Amino acid sequence: MSVALLLPPATYSNVGLDVEPLTSGPRFVRTRGMSRWHRPRSGRRYPDDRLVYDAWCGYSIGGGRKRAFLGAEEPPAGEPTCGTCEGRAAGAGQADSPTGRLLIFSPRDITPPKNCPASRSSVLFEELPGGRVGRCLACGDMQPLRAMGGPYNPRYAIVQHPTGQALIEPCPFHRWRHLVARDGRAVCECGRETAS
């Protein structure tokens, strides 16, 4: 039995192209040394088949040796579960509320940013003929370009702007944080395609 992992395995670290984000996992996980069960919100698979789950509370569980963690549909009677995981999973809609109350948890870094991630970039736009206007490679909106750099190094940057409707899909690991321009498209610096 498995549960849908609601969140992408977002990280600030480098992630090899052969690491895959997981879309489902055990309802509860813990390492052998942990005193309580945690709920995974995201996970990844490494090329050697190691699995790592990220718990709602922030723990990363797994990795190391194969099967370095235990998974369960329901923790054995009497074994405690992590309150932070339970509350956040319920608040984010992954699990029923353990208290019967309406819980809310809105993780950061998951929803599109208010300001477009291409704001003030000197590469994430396609300049349109005449008029110093560019089409944003991240969100598709037309925005003014502003001159930057000195007289010997003139360049243009797209102005800071609210995220447009046509924002590209985020990298599962780095979201919209490390966009670069390649062949006239915005892609994640790690090399993953971000289909628009």
Q: Residues in the site for Zn ion, rule: CB under 5 A?
A: 38, 55, 57, 82, 85, 116, 118, 136, 138-139, 171, 173-174, 188, 190, 192
State which residue, 22 or 85, has the beta carbon closest to Zn ion. 85
Q: Work out how close the CB of 150 gets to Zn ion at its nearest, in angstroms, rounded to a whole number.
A: 26
Q: Name the residue nearer to Zn ion (CB basis): 5 or 138.
A: 138
Report the nearest approach of Zn ion to the CB of residue 38 (Å): 3
For Zn ion, give the closer residue by CB, 17 or 153. Answer: 17
The nearest distance, CB 135 to Zn ion, in angstroms, is 9
Instruction: Extract the tokens encoding 179.
Output: 């966009």
Contact (CB, 8 A) for 88 and 97? no
For the CB of residue 152, give the shortest distance to Zn ion in the complex, in Å: 29
- For Zn ion, the closer CB: 50 or 113: 113
